[in-house]
Chain A
Protein backbone atom coordinates (compact mmCIF):
# COMPACT_ATOMS: atom_id res chain seq x y z
CA UNK A 1 0.00 0.00 0.00
CA UNK A 2 2.44 2.61 1.12
CA UNK A 3 5.66 1.04 -0.04
CA UNK A 4 6.51 4.32 -1.77
CA UNK A 5 6.56 6.11 1.56
CA UNK A 6 8.61 3.61 3.51
CA UNK A 7 10.85 1.70 1.20
CA UNK A 8 11.91 4.07 -1.56
CA UNK A 9 12.73 7.63 -0.52
CA UNK A 10 11.69 10.54 -2.71
CA UNK A 11 15.28 11.36 -3.55
CA UNK A 12 15.71 8.11 -5.41
CA UNK A 13 12.85 8.96 -7.74
CA UNK A 14 14.39 12.35 -8.35
CA UNK A 15 17.79 10.83 -9.01
CA UNK A 16 16.27 8.33 -11.42
CA UNK A 17 14.44 11.17 -13.16
CA UNK A 18 17.62 13.23 -13.42
CA UNK A 19 19.52 10.22 -14.76
CA UNK A 20 16.88 9.53 -17.40
CA UNK A 21 16.82 13.21 -18.38
CA UNK A 22 20.61 13.22 -18.73
CA UNK A 23 20.46 10.07 -20.83
CA UNK A 24 17.98 11.82 -23.06
CA UNK A 25 20.26 14.85 -23.42
CA UNK A 26 23.28 12.66 -24.17
CA UNK A 27 21.27 10.64 -26.68
CA UNK A 28 20.11 13.84 -28.37
CA UNK A 29 23.68 15.03 -28.67
CA UNK A 30 25.46 11.85 -29.83
CA UNK A 31 22.88 9.84 -31.78
CA UNK A 32 23.09 10.07 -35.55
CA UNK A 33 19.63 8.94 -36.64
CA UNK A 34 16.68 11.33 -36.69
CA UNK A 35 14.27 8.80 -35.17
CA UNK A 36 16.66 8.01 -32.30
CA UNK A 37 17.24 11.70 -31.68
CA UNK A 38 13.49 12.18 -31.53
CA UNK A 39 13.16 9.25 -29.10
CA UNK A 40 15.76 10.90 -26.86
CA UNK A 41 13.55 13.98 -26.65
CA UNK A 42 10.60 11.79 -25.65
CA UNK A 43 12.81 10.22 -22.97
CA UNK A 44 13.56 13.70 -21.59
CA UNK A 45 9.85 14.54 -21.40
CA UNK A 46 9.04 11.28 -19.65
CA UNK A 47 11.87 11.80 -17.16
CA UNK A 48 10.25 15.11 -16.29
CA UNK A 49 6.92 13.31 -15.86
CA UNK A 50 8.52 11.06 -13.26
CA UNK A 51 9.68 14.15 -11.36
CA UNK A 52 6.20 15.62 -11.48
CA UNK A 53 4.62 12.46 -10.07
CA UNK A 54 7.20 12.19 -7.31
CA UNK A 55 6.74 15.83 -6.32
CA UNK A 56 2.97 15.49 -6.48
CA UNK A 57 3.25 12.64 -4.00
CA UNK A 58 5.51 14.68 -1.75
CA UNK A 59 3.24 17.73 -1.68
CA UNK A 60 -0.02 15.75 -1.74
CA UNK A 61 -0.93 18.06 -4.64
CA UNK A 62 -2.91 16.62 -7.51
CA UNK A 63 -1.65 19.48 -9.70
CA UNK A 64 1.54 17.60 -10.46
CA UNK A 65 -0.36 14.61 -11.74
CA UNK A 66 -2.59 16.81 -13.90
CA UNK A 67 0.56 18.33 -15.33
CA UNK A 68 1.72 14.85 -16.38
CA UNK A 69 -1.44 14.29 -18.40
CA UNK A 70 -0.96 17.56 -20.23
CA UNK A 71 2.68 16.75 -20.93
CA UNK A 72 1.67 13.38 -22.39
CA UNK A 73 -0.97 15.03 -24.56
CA UNK A 74 1.42 17.68 -25.83
CA UNK A 75 4.08 15.03 -26.46
CA UNK A 76 1.59 13.12 -28.59
CA UNK A 77 0.79 16.23 -30.63
CA UNK A 78 4.49 16.93 -30.98
CA UNK A 79 5.14 13.35 -32.11
CA UNK A 80 2.48 13.66 -34.81
CA UNK A 81 4.08 16.79 -36.23
CA UNK A 82 7.62 15.53 -35.70
CA UNK A 83 7.09 12.24 -37.48
CA UNK A 84 5.37 14.06 -40.35
CA UNK A 85 8.41 16.31 -40.69
CA UNK A 86 10.73 13.29 -40.55
CA UNK A 87 8.74 11.69 -43.39
CA UNK A 88 9.04 14.90 -45.39
CA UNK A 89 12.80 14.88 -44.81
CA UNK A 90 13.05 11.26 -45.89
CA UNK A 91 11.04 11.94 -49.06
CA UNK A 92 13.23 14.90 -49.96
CA UNK A 93 16.62 13.39 -49.08
CA UNK A 94 16.11 9.59 -48.90
CA UNK A 95 18.14 9.45 -45.68
CA UNK A 96 17.61 9.85 -41.95
CA UNK A 97 21.28 10.27 -41.03
CA UNK A 98 21.77 13.53 -39.16
CA UNK A 99 25.18 14.10 -40.77
CA UNK A 100 23.72 14.04 -44.25
CA UNK A 101 20.97 16.59 -43.55
CA UNK A 102 23.48 19.31 -44.37
CA UNK A 103 22.32 21.31 -47.39
CA UNK A 104 22.76 24.45 -45.36
CA UNK A 105 26.11 24.99 -43.71
CA UNK A 106 28.15 27.95 -42.62
Chain B
Protein backbone atom coordinates (compact mmCIF):
# COMPACT_ATOMS: atom_id res chain seq x y z
CA UNK B 1 0.00 0.00 0.00
CA UNK B 2 0.97 3.57 -0.52
CA UNK B 3 1.71 5.13 2.87
CA UNK B 4 1.71 8.73 1.62
CA UNK B 5 -1.74 10.38 1.76
CA UNK B 6 -2.88 11.14 -1.77
CA UNK B 7 -3.49 14.80 -0.99
CA UNK B 8 0.24 15.36 -0.41
CA UNK B 9 0.89 14.33 -3.99
CA UNK B 10 -0.98 17.36 -5.30
CA UNK B 11 -0.27 19.79 -2.45
CA UNK B 12 1.11 22.65 -4.62
CA UNK B 13 -1.87 22.40 -6.95
CA UNK B 14 -4.28 22.42 -3.99
CA UNK B 15 -2.62 25.53 -2.56
CA UNK B 16 -2.74 27.31 -5.92
CA UNK B 17 -6.40 26.39 -6.44
CA UNK B 18 -7.36 27.65 -2.98
CA UNK B 19 -5.46 30.89 -3.67
CA UNK B 20 -7.29 31.39 -6.94
CA UNK B 21 -10.70 30.69 -5.40
CA UNK B 22 -9.92 33.04 -2.50
CA UNK B 23 -9.01 35.82 -4.93
CA UNK B 24 -12.25 35.32 -6.87
CA UNK B 25 -14.31 35.39 -3.67
CA UNK B 26 -12.63 38.48 -2.23
CA UNK B 27 -12.85 40.20 -5.60
CA UNK B 28 -16.59 39.58 -5.73
CA UNK B 29 -17.31 40.60 -2.14
CA UNK B 30 -15.44 43.90 -1.72
CA UNK B 31 -17.03 47.15 -2.95
CA UNK B 32 -16.35 47.94 -6.62
CA UNK B 33 -14.56 51.19 -5.81
CA UNK B 34 -11.84 49.55 -3.75
CA UNK B 35 -8.49 48.90 -5.44
CA UNK B 36 -7.90 45.33 -6.57
CA UNK B 37 -4.14 45.60 -6.65
CA UNK B 38 -3.67 43.92 -3.27
CA UNK B 39 -5.23 40.74 -4.63
CA UNK B 40 -2.04 40.41 -6.64
CA UNK B 41 -0.04 40.20 -3.42
CA UNK B 42 -2.41 37.46 -2.23
CA UNK B 43 -1.68 35.56 -5.44
CA UNK B 44 2.08 36.07 -5.02
CA UNK B 45 1.94 34.78 -1.45
CA UNK B 46 -0.05 31.72 -2.51
CA UNK B 47 2.45 30.99 -5.29
CA UNK B 48 5.36 31.32 -2.86
CA UNK B 49 3.72 28.80 -0.54
CA UNK B 50 3.20 26.50 -3.54
CA UNK B 51 6.94 26.68 -4.30
CA UNK B 52 7.66 25.73 -0.72
CA UNK B 53 5.17 22.85 -0.94
CA UNK B 54 6.82 21.57 -4.13
CA UNK B 55 10.23 21.56 -2.51
CA UNK B 56 8.76 19.81 0.52
CA UNK B 57 7.44 17.09 -1.80
CA UNK B 58 11.05 16.03 -2.35
CA UNK B 59 10.97 14.52 1.14
CA UNK B 60 8.12 12.22 0.13
CA UNK B 61 8.97 8.79 -1.22
CA UNK B 62 8.73 8.86 -4.98
CA UNK B 63 5.49 7.38 -6.26
CA UNK B 64 1.99 7.95 -7.50
CA UNK B 65 -1.27 8.92 -5.87
CA UNK B 66 -4.98 8.91 -6.67
CA UNK B 67 -4.95 5.45 -8.31
CA UNK B 68 -1.87 6.10 -10.37
CA UNK B 69 -2.87 9.42 -11.87
CA UNK B 70 -0.37 11.88 -10.33
CA UNK B 71 3.29 11.37 -9.60
CA UNK B 72 5.72 13.14 -7.34
CA UNK B 73 9.38 12.74 -8.17
CA UNK B 74 12.44 14.89 -8.67
CA UNK B 75 11.18 15.47 -12.22
CA UNK B 76 7.82 16.92 -11.17
CA UNK B 77 9.38 18.99 -8.37
CA UNK B 78 11.93 20.49 -10.78
CA UNK B 79 9.21 21.66 -13.14
CA UNK B 80 6.84 22.71 -10.35
CA UNK B 81 9.44 25.02 -8.85
CA UNK B 82 10.30 26.37 -12.30
CA UNK B 83 6.67 27.04 -13.27
CA UNK B 84 5.72 28.54 -9.90
CA UNK B 85 8.83 30.73 -10.07
CA UNK B 86 7.83 32.04 -13.48
CA UNK B 87 4.28 32.65 -12.27
CA UNK B 88 5.60 34.51 -9.21
CA UNK B 89 7.73 36.77 -11.40
CA UNK B 90 4.81 37.40 -13.76
CA UNK B 91 2.53 38.27 -10.83
CA UNK B 92 5.02 40.71 -9.32
CA UNK B 93 5.49 42.27 -12.73
CA UNK B 94 1.73 42.65 -13.26
CA UNK B 95 1.37 44.26 -9.84
CA UNK B 96 3.30 47.28 -11.05
CA UNK B 97 2.50 47.10 -14.75
CA UNK B 98 -1.28 46.86 -14.70
CA UNK B 99 -2.80 50.35 -14.65
CA UNK B 100 -4.90 51.00 -11.57
CA UNK B 101 -7.95 51.77 -13.66
CA UNK B 102 -7.91 48.46 -15.56
CA UNK B 103 -11.04 46.37 -15.33
CA UNK B 104 -11.32 42.90 -13.85
CA UNK B 105 -7.95 43.11 -12.16
CA UNK B 106 -8.91 40.52 -9.54
CA UNK B 107 -9.83 38.02 -12.22
CA UNK B 108 -6.54 38.69 -13.98
CA UNK B 109 -4.58 37.46 -10.94
CA UNK B 110 -6.97 34.57 -10.37
CA UNK B 111 -6.59 33.44 -14.00
CA UNK B 112 -2.81 33.48 -13.74
CA UNK B 113 -3.00 31.30 -10.64
CA UNK B 114 -5.52 28.90 -12.21
CA UNK B 115 -3.30 28.65 -15.24
CA UNK B 116 -0.43 27.72 -12.92
CA UNK B 117 -2.58 24.90 -11.48
CA UNK B 118 -3.01 23.42 -14.96
CA UNK B 119 0.67 23.75 -15.84
CA UNK B 120 1.83 22.14 -12.57
CA UNK B 121 -0.68 19.34 -12.97
CA UNK B 122 0.50 18.77 -16.53
CA UNK B 123 4.03 18.03 -15.33
CA UNK B 124 2.94 15.61 -12.61
CA UNK B 125 0.13 13.77 -14.47
CA UNK B 126 0.86 10.15 -15.35
CA UNK B 127 -2.64 9.47 -16.64
CA UNK B 128 -3.46 10.75 -20.10
CA UNK B 129 -6.95 11.83 -19.05
CA UNK B 130 -5.40 14.11 -16.45
CA UNK B 131 -2.84 15.29 -19.01
CA UNK B 132 -5.67 16.39 -21.27
CA UNK B 133 -7.59 18.16 -18.51
CA UNK B 134 -4.49 19.87 -17.11
CA UNK B 135 -3.52 21.07 -20.58
CA UNK B 136 -6.98 22.56 -21.02
CA UNK B 137 -6.94 24.26 -17.60
CA UNK B 138 -3.69 25.96 -18.48
CA UNK B 139 -4.73 26.75 -22.06
CA UNK B 140 -8.16 28.18 -21.31
CA UNK B 141 -6.69 30.52 -18.68
CA UNK B 142 -4.04 31.77 -21.07
CA UNK B 143 -6.56 32.23 -23.91
CA UNK B 144 -8.45 34.70 -21.73
CA UNK B 145 -5.29 36.42 -20.50
CA UNK B 146 -4.07 36.88 -24.08
CA UNK B 147 -7.11 38.98 -24.92
CA UNK B 148 -7.08 41.10 -21.80
CA UNK B 149 -6.65 44.44 -23.56
CA UNK B 150 -9.94 44.05 -25.36
CA UNK B 151 -10.39 47.77 -25.99
CA UNK B 152 -7.59 47.66 -28.57
CA UNK B 153 -8.13 45.81 -31.84
CA UNK B 154 -5.08 43.64 -31.34
CA UNK B 155 -6.04 42.10 -28.00
CA UNK B 156 -9.04 40.09 -29.23
CA UNK B 157 -7.21 39.27 -32.44
CA UNK B 158 -4.33 37.74 -30.47
CA UNK B 159 -6.79 35.86 -28.27
CA UNK B 160 -8.77 34.40 -31.17
CA UNK B 161 -5.64 33.28 -32.99
CA UNK B 162 -4.26 31.70 -29.85
CA UNK B 163 -7.60 30.08 -29.06
CA UNK B 164 -8.29 28.61 -32.50
CA UNK B 165 -4.80 27.22 -33.08
CA UNK B 166 -4.50 26.03 -29.48
CA UNK B 167 -7.78 24.11 -29.67
CA UNK B 168 -6.77 22.74 -33.07
CA UNK B 169 -3.58 21.38 -31.49
CA UNK B 170 -5.51 19.95 -28.56
CA UNK B 171 -7.67 18.03 -31.04
CA UNK B 172 -4.56 16.31 -32.43
CA UNK B 173 -3.23 15.49 -28.97
CA UNK B 174 -6.61 14.05 -28.02
CA UNK B 175 -6.77 11.89 -31.14
CA UNK B 176 -3.30 10.59 -30.28
CA UNK B 177 -4.51 9.69 -26.79
CA UNK B 178 -7.54 7.90 -28.27
CA UNK B 179 -5.29 5.82 -30.53
CA UNK B 180 -2.90 4.89 -27.72
CA UNK B 181 -5.96 3.82 -25.76
CA UNK B 182 -7.07 1.78 -28.76
CA UNK B 183 -3.67 0.13 -29.13
CA UNK B 184 -3.05 -0.69 -25.48
CA UNK B 185 -6.42 -0.54 -23.74
CA UNK B 186 -5.16 1.85 -21.08
CA UNK B 187 -4.41 5.54 -20.67
CA UNK B 188 -2.15 5.20 -17.62
CA UNK B 189 1.32 6.28 -18.69
CA UNK B 190 3.33 3.43 -17.09
CA UNK B 191 0.92 0.75 -18.26
CA UNK B 192 0.77 2.23 -21.75
CA UNK B 193 4.58 2.33 -21.78
CA UNK B 194 4.69 -1.38 -20.89
CA UNK B 195 2.03 -2.42 -23.37
CA UNK B 196 2.90 -0.17 -26.34
CA UNK B 197 5.99 -2.16 -27.48
CA UNK B 198 4.04 -5.44 -27.42
CA UNK B 199 0.78 -4.11 -28.86
CA UNK B 200 -0.53 -6.13 -31.79
CA UNK B 201 -1.38 -3.10 -33.85
CA UNK B 202 1.94 -1.27 -34.19
CA UNK B 203 0.75 1.16 -36.91
CA UNK B 204 -1.82 2.41 -34.41
CA UNK B 205 0.93 3.08 -31.85
CA UNK B 206 2.95 4.89 -34.48
CA UNK B 207 -0.02 7.05 -35.50
CA UNK B 208 -0.75 7.80 -31.84
CA UNK B 209 2.80 9.01 -31.30
CA UNK B 210 2.75 11.15 -34.43
CA UNK B 211 -0.53 12.85 -33.48
CA UNK B 212 0.58 13.47 -29.91
CA UNK B 213 3.84 14.97 -31.15
CA UNK B 214 1.94 17.32 -33.48
CA UNK B 215 -0.25 18.49 -30.59
CA UNK B 216 2.66 19.09 -28.23
CA UNK B 217 4.91 20.74 -30.81
CA UNK B 218 2.11 23.22 -31.49
CA UNK B 219 2.10 24.11 -27.80
CA UNK B 220 5.85 24.67 -27.67
CA UNK B 221 5.64 26.74 -30.88
CA UNK B 222 8.23 24.74 -32.80
CA UNK B 223 8.37 25.22 -36.56
CA UNK B 224 6.42 24.30 -38.69
CA UNK B 225 3.70 24.71 -36.03
CA UNK B 226 4.77 28.20 -34.99
CA UNK B 227 2.66 30.56 -37.11
CA UNK B 228 0.49 31.73 -34.21
CA UNK B 229 3.38 32.80 -31.98
CA UNK B 230 4.36 36.26 -33.33
CA UNK B 231 0.79 37.52 -33.61
CA UNK B 232 -0.18 36.32 -30.15
CA UNK B 233 2.94 37.73 -28.50
CA UNK B 234 2.46 41.06 -30.24
CA UNK B 235 -1.20 41.47 -29.31
CA UNK B 236 -1.21 40.11 -25.77
CA UNK B 237 -0.33 42.34 -22.80
CA UNK B 238 3.43 42.14 -22.18
CA UNK B 239 3.23 40.80 -18.58
CA UNK B 240 1.08 37.98 -19.97
CA UNK B 241 3.62 37.36 -22.73
CA UNK B 242 6.35 37.05 -20.08
CA UNK B 243 4.22 34.30 -18.55
CA UNK B 244 2.96 32.48 -21.60
CA UNK B 245 6.20 32.47 -23.54
CA UNK B 246 7.77 30.50 -20.69
CA UNK B 247 5.51 28.69 -18.21
CA UNK B 248 3.12 26.81 -20.56
CA UNK B 249 6.12 26.00 -22.73
CA UNK B 250 8.02 24.56 -19.77
CA UNK B 251 4.98 22.44 -18.95
CA UNK B 252 4.61 21.34 -22.58
CA UNK B 253 8.29 20.39 -22.75
CA UNK B 254 7.85 18.35 -19.56
CA UNK B 255 4.96 16.58 -21.29
CA UNK B 256 7.05 16.05 -24.42
CA UNK B 257 9.84 14.53 -22.32
CA UNK B 258 7.34 12.25 -20.63
CA UNK B 259 5.75 11.19 -23.90
CA UNK B 260 8.89 10.44 -25.87
CA UNK B 261 11.12 9.10 -23.10
CA UNK B 262 8.52 7.31 -21.00
CA UNK B 263 5.75 6.11 -23.32
CA UNK B 264 7.58 5.69 -26.63
CA UNK B 265 11.25 4.96 -25.83
CA UNK B 266 11.06 1.93 -28.13
CA UNK B 267 10.17 4.17 -31.07
CA UNK B 268 13.28 6.30 -30.64
CA UNK B 269 14.42 5.50 -34.17
CA UNK B 270 11.21 7.18 -35.39
CA UNK B 271 10.89 10.25 -33.19
CA UNK B 272 14.54 11.17 -33.05
CA UNK B 273 14.83 12.06 -36.77
CA UNK B 274 11.46 13.83 -36.58
CA UNK B 275 12.57 16.01 -33.68
CA UNK B 276 15.91 16.55 -35.45
CA UNK B 277 14.09 18.05 -38.43
CA UNK B 278 11.77 20.11 -36.24
CA UNK B 279 14.74 21.43 -34.22
CA UNK B 280 16.63 22.54 -37.33
CA UNK B 281 13.51 24.09 -38.85
CA UNK B 282 12.64 25.97 -35.64
CA UNK B 283 16.13 27.41 -35.23
CA UNK B 284 16.49 28.47 -38.84
CA UNK B 285 12.97 29.77 -39.44
CA UNK B 286 12.90 31.56 -36.08
CA UNK B 287 16.25 33.28 -36.53
CA UNK B 288 15.80 34.23 -40.18
CA UNK B 289 12.38 35.73 -39.50
CA UNK B 290 13.59 37.54 -36.38
CA UNK B 291 16.27 39.30 -38.42
CA UNK B 292 13.73 41.32 -40.38
CA UNK B 293 11.39 42.36 -37.54
CA UNK B 294 10.97 45.97 -36.49
CA UNK B 295 8.62 45.31 -33.57
CA UNK B 296 10.51 44.23 -30.45
CA UNK B 297 7.87 41.81 -29.22
CA UNK B 298 7.59 40.15 -32.65
CA UNK B 299 11.35 39.83 -32.79
CA UNK B 300 11.40 38.14 -29.39
CA UNK B 301 8.54 35.87 -30.48
CA UNK B 302 10.66 34.58 -33.36
CA UNK B 303 13.60 34.30 -31.00
CA UNK B 304 11.37 32.15 -28.75
CA UNK B 305 10.73 29.84 -31.73
CA UNK B 306 14.49 29.58 -32.30
CA UNK B 307 15.04 28.76 -28.63
CA UNK B 308 12.47 25.98 -28.84
CA UNK B 309 14.70 24.61 -31.60
CA UNK B 310 17.85 24.76 -29.45
CA UNK B 311 15.94 22.98 -26.72
CA UNK B 312 14.72 20.25 -29.07
CA UNK B 313 18.36 19.64 -30.03
CA UNK B 314 18.80 18.19 -26.53
CA UNK B 315 16.34 15.43 -27.41
CA UNK B 316 19.00 13.94 -29.65
CA UNK B 317 20.93 13.18 -26.46
CA UNK B 318 20.92 9.66 -25.08
CA UNK B 319 18.58 8.93 -22.19
CA UNK B 320 19.05 10.92 -19.03
CA UNK B 321 21.74 13.18 -20.55
CA UNK B 322 19.25 14.51 -23.06
CA UNK B 323 16.50 14.90 -20.47
CA UNK B 324 18.79 16.76 -18.06
CA UNK B 325 20.00 19.09 -20.82
CA UNK B 326 16.42 19.82 -21.92
CA UNK B 327 15.29 20.50 -18.34
CA UNK B 328 18.27 22.79 -17.71
CA UNK B 329 17.67 24.68 -20.95
CA UNK B 330 14.01 25.16 -20.03
CA UNK B 331 15.06 26.81 -16.75
CA UNK B 332 17.71 29.02 -18.36
CA UNK B 333 15.39 30.06 -21.18
CA UNK B 334 12.58 30.85 -18.73
CA UNK B 335 14.80 33.07 -16.56
CA UNK B 336 16.18 35.19 -19.38
CA UNK B 337 12.93 35.40 -21.31
CA UNK B 338 10.91 36.51 -18.29
CA UNK B 339 13.66 39.05 -17.62
CA UNK B 340 13.71 40.52 -21.11
CA UNK B 341 9.92 40.82 -21.26
CA UNK B 342 9.89 42.34 -17.77
CA UNK B 343 12.27 45.08 -18.92
CA UNK B 344 10.12 45.67 -22.00
CA UNK B 345 6.99 46.02 -19.84
CA UNK B 346 8.75 48.59 -17.68
CA UNK B 347 10.09 50.56 -20.63
CA UNK B 348 7.09 50.41 -22.94
CA UNK B 349 4.32 50.37 -20.36
CA UNK B 350 1.08 48.42 -20.41
CA UNK B 351 -0.28 50.43 -23.34
CA UNK B 352 2.91 49.93 -25.35
CA UNK B 353 3.51 53.40 -26.73
CA UNK B 354 7.01 52.17 -27.51
CA UNK B 355 6.98 49.00 -29.56
CA UNK B 356 9.54 49.42 -32.34
CA UNK B 357 13.25 48.79 -32.06
CA UNK B 358 13.92 52.47 -32.82
CA UNK B 359 11.86 53.46 -29.78
CA UNK B 360 14.49 51.91 -27.55
CA UNK B 361 17.21 54.25 -28.85
CA UNK B 362 19.19 55.80 -26.02
CA UNK B 363 17.36 53.84 -23.35
CA UNK B 364 20.56 53.53 -21.35
CA UNK B 365 20.73 57.36 -21.09
CA UNK B 366 17.10 57.71 -20.07
CA UNK B 367 17.23 54.91 -17.54
CA UNK B 368 20.70 53.42 -16.94
CA UNK B 369 19.28 50.59 -14.83
CA UNK B 370 16.72 49.34 -17.36
CA UNK B 371 19.07 49.88 -20.28
CA UNK B 372 21.84 47.80 -18.77
CA UNK B 373 19.38 45.12 -17.67
CA UNK B 374 18.03 44.86 -21.21
CA UNK B 375 21.56 44.49 -22.57
CA UNK B 376 22.32 41.87 -19.91
CA UNK B 377 19.32 39.73 -20.87
CA UNK B 378 20.08 40.10 -24.58
CA UNK B 379 23.64 38.91 -23.90
CA UNK B 380 22.22 35.91 -22.11
CA UNK B 381 19.87 35.19 -25.04
CA UNK B 382 22.88 35.26 -27.38
CA UNK B 383 24.55 32.73 -25.09
CA UNK B 384 27.69 34.51 -23.94
CA UNK B 385 29.50 32.86 -20.99
CA UNK B 386 28.65 33.72 -17.37
CA UNK B 387 24.96 33.80 -18.23
CA UNK B 388 22.37 31.03 -18.07
CA UNK B 389 21.92 31.09 -21.82
CA UNK B 390 25.49 29.93 -22.37
CA UNK B 391 25.29 26.81 -20.23
CA UNK B 392 21.82 26.02 -21.55
CA UNK B 393 23.12 25.96 -25.11
CA UNK B 394 26.33 24.24 -24.04
CA UNK B 395 24.53 21.31 -22.38
CA UNK B 396 21.95 21.07 -25.13
CA UNK B 397 24.48 20.91 -27.94
CA UNK B 398 26.83 18.59 -26.00
CA UNK B 399 23.88 16.26 -25.44
CA UNK B 400 23.25 16.32 -29.20
CA UNK B 401 26.91 15.57 -29.93
CA UNK B 402 26.88 12.79 -27.33
CA UNK B 403 23.87 11.30 -29.07
CA UNK B 404 25.70 11.30 -32.38
CA UNK B 405 23.87 14.25 -33.92
CA UNK B 406 26.98 16.29 -34.71
CA UNK B 407 25.39 17.98 -37.71
CA UNK B 408 22.55 19.19 -35.47
CA UNK B 409 25.01 20.75 -33.02
CA UNK B 410 26.86 22.49 -35.86
CA UNK B 411 23.62 23.87 -37.31
CA UNK B 412 22.72 25.03 -33.80
CA UNK B 413 26.04 26.85 -33.37
CA UNK B 414 25.72 28.53 -36.76
CA UNK B 415 22.22 29.62 -35.81
CA UNK B 416 23.45 31.06 -32.53
CA UNK B 417 25.80 33.25 -34.54
CA UNK B 418 22.97 34.33 -36.79
CA UNK B 419 20.81 35.12 -33.76
CA UNK B 420 23.52 37.35 -32.28
CA UNK B 421 22.89 39.76 -35.16
CA UNK B 422 19.40 40.79 -34.12
CA UNK B 423 20.03 40.65 -30.38
CA UNK B 424 23.07 42.89 -30.83
CA UNK B 425 21.09 45.27 -33.03
CA UNK B 426 18.66 45.91 -30.17
CA UNK B 427 21.51 46.10 -27.65
CA UNK B 428 23.41 48.63 -29.77
CA UNK B 429 20.31 50.77 -30.29
CA UNK B 430 19.80 50.75 -26.52
CA UNK B 431 23.33 52.00 -25.94
CA UNK B 432 23.23 54.61 -28.74
CA UNK B 433 23.24 58.28 -27.80
CA UNK B 434 19.83 59.70 -28.78
CA UNK B 435 19.77 62.19 -31.64
CA UNK B 436 19.31 65.89 -30.85
CA UNK B 437 15.98 66.25 -32.62
CA UNK B 438 14.55 63.06 -31.20
CA UNK B 439 11.16 63.44 -29.48
CA UNK B 440 11.31 63.11 -25.71
CA UNK B 441 10.09 59.70 -24.62
CA UNK B 442 8.41 59.12 -21.28
CA UNK B 443 10.61 58.13 -18.38
CA UNK B 444 9.90 54.54 -17.36
CA UNK B 445 8.25 54.16 -13.99
CA UNK B 446 9.66 51.29 -11.95
CA UNK B 447 7.94 50.09 -8.80
CA UNK B 448 9.32 47.84 -6.03
CA UNK B 449 7.34 44.74 -7.06
CA UNK B 450 8.61 44.94 -10.62
CA UNK B 451 12.15 45.40 -9.29
CA UNK B 452 11.69 42.19 -7.31
CA UNK B 453 10.52 40.37 -10.44
CA UNK B 454 13.45 41.58 -12.52
CA UNK B 455 15.88 40.86 -9.67
CA UNK B 456 14.57 37.29 -9.52
CA UNK B 457 15.18 36.86 -13.25
CA UNK B 458 18.67 38.40 -13.05
CA UNK B 459 19.58 36.25 -10.06
CA UNK B 460 18.47 33.01 -11.72
CA UNK B 461 20.18 33.90 -15.00
CA UNK B 462 23.44 34.66 -13.18
CA UNK B 463 23.25 31.61 -10.91
CA UNK B 464 22.65 29.34 -13.89
CA UNK B 465 25.56 30.96 -15.71
CA UNK B 466 28.16 31.07 -12.92
CA UNK B 467 27.31 28.15 -10.63
CA UNK B 468 25.16 25.84 -12.77
CA UNK B 469 26.13 22.77 -10.73
CA UNK B 470 23.18 22.72 -8.32
CA UNK B 471 20.56 23.19 -11.02
CA UNK B 472 22.27 20.69 -13.29
CA UNK B 473 22.31 18.22 -10.44
CA UNK B 474 18.57 18.76 -9.89
CA UNK B 475 17.96 18.33 -13.61
CA UNK B 476 19.98 15.11 -13.61
CA UNK B 477 18.06 13.62 -10.70
CA UNK B 478 14.86 14.70 -12.47
CA UNK B 479 16.08 12.92 -15.58
CA UNK B 480 16.87 9.83 -13.57
CA UNK B 481 13.36 9.58 -12.11
CA UNK B 482 11.86 9.94 -15.57
CA UNK B 483 14.08 7.20 -16.92
CA UNK B 484 13.19 4.73 -14.20
CA UNK B 485 9.41 4.68 -13.81
CA UNK B 486 8.12 3.13 -10.57
CA UNK B 487 7.50 -0.58 -10.49
CA UNK B 488 3.97 -1.81 -11.26
CA UNK B 489 3.28 -2.45 -7.58
CA UNK B 490 3.61 1.26 -6.86
CA UNK B 491 0.75 2.18 -9.16
CA UNK B 492 -2.13 0.42 -7.47
CA UNK B 493 -5.81 0.55 -8.22
CA UNK B 494 -5.89 -0.11 -11.93
CA UNK B 495 -5.74 -3.75 -12.96
CA UNK B 496 -4.29 -4.33 -16.38
CA UNK B 497 -6.90 -4.52 -19.06
CA UNK B 498 -6.04 -7.78 -20.72
CA UNK B 499 -8.21 -7.29 -23.76
CA UNK B 500 -10.87 -9.55 -25.13
Contact = CB atoms under 8 A, between A and B. Distances in A.
Given A74-B133, A92-B153, A81 B140 contact: yes
Identify whether the interface residues of A are mostly helix, strand, loop, or mixed: helix
Contacts of B177: 67
B147 interface: yes
Interface in A56-105: 58-61, 63-64, 66-67, 70-71, 74, 77-78, 81-82, 85-86, 88-89, 91-93, 101, 103-104
B186 A63 contact: yes
A5 to B, nearest CB: 11
A58 B179 CA distance: 12
B159 interface: yes
Contacts of B153: 92-93, 103
Given A48-B178, A71-B174, A92-B156, 5 more contacts: A81-B163, A88-B155, A91-B150, A92-B151, A104-B157
Contact of B187 (A67, A77, A89): A67
Contacts of B499: 59
Interface in B131-179: 132-133, 136, 140, 143-144, 147, 150-161, 163-164, 167-168, 171, 174-175, 177-179
A51 B178 CA distance: 6
B144 A81 contact: yes
B59 interface: no
B235 A67 contact: no
Contacts of A93: 153, 156-157
Contact of B147 (A51, A74, A78, A88): A88
Contacts of A54: 182
A78 B133 CA distance: 11
Interface in A9-68: 14, 21, 24, 28, 34, 37-38, 41, 44-45, 47-48, 51-52, 54-55, 58-61, 63-64, 66-67
7 contacts: A55-B185, A61-B497, A63-B497, A85-B143, A93-B156, A93-B157, A101-B160
Please provide the 9 A-B residue pairs with the shortest distance between their CB atoms, ordered closest to farther.
A44-B171, A55-B182, A59-B185, A88-B156, A51-B178, A89-B156, A104-B231, A85-B159, A41-B167
Contact of B136 (A14, A60, A77): A77
Given A28-B168, A51-B179, A92-B150, A66 B129 contact: yes
Contacts of A61: 185-186, 497
- Interface range on chain B: under 10, 10 to 19, 20 to 34, or 35 or more? 35 or more
Interface of B: 129, 132-133, 136, 140, 143-144, 147, 150-161, 163-164, 167-168, 171, 174-175, 177-179, 181-182, 185-187, 230-231, 234-235, 289, 497, 499-500
Contacts of A37: 164
Interface of B is mostly: helix
A104 B235 contact: yes
B156 to A, nearest CB: 4
Contacts of A81: 140, 143-144, 163
Identify which of B157, B164, B171, B235 gathers the most chain A CB atoms within 10 Å of its CB: B171
B466 to A, nearest CB: 38
A85 B163 contact: yes
Given A89-B160, A92-B150, A70 B132 contact: yes
